[in-house]
Amino acid sequence: MQKACVQCGTAFTPDPPRRGRPRTTCSEDCAYQRELALQRERRRGVRQYGKPYSARENRLWSLYRITPEKYDEMLKAQDGVCAICGEGPGKKALHVDHDHACCPGKESCGKCVRGLLCYRCNAGIGLLRDSPEIMRAAVAYIKGG
Confidence of residue 17 (pLDDT cuts 50, 70, 90): low
What integer pLDDT is reported at residue 49 of this predicted model? 57
pLDDT digits 0-9 by tens, 124-134: 999 999 899 99
Q: What is d(CA 81, CA 78) in angstroms, rounded to the nearest whole number?
A: 6
Structural domains of the chain, with CATH: 3-44 (no CATH), 55-144 (3.40.1800.10)
Tell me how crowded residue 4 is: count the other CB atoms within 10 A of its CB. Answer: 12
Q: Element (H or E) spanning 50, and its range?
A: none
Q: Sorting pLDDT into bands at 50, 70 and 90, what band is 46?
A: low
pTM over 0.75? The answer is no
pLDDT, tens digit, 9 for 90 and up, residues 61-120: 888 888 888 999 999 999 999 999 999 988 889 999 998 888 877 788 888 899 999 999
Lowest mean pLDDT among 9-13, 42-46, 61-65, 110-114: 42-46
Residues in contact with 73: Cβ distance below 8 Å, sequence separation at least 6, in sequence order: none
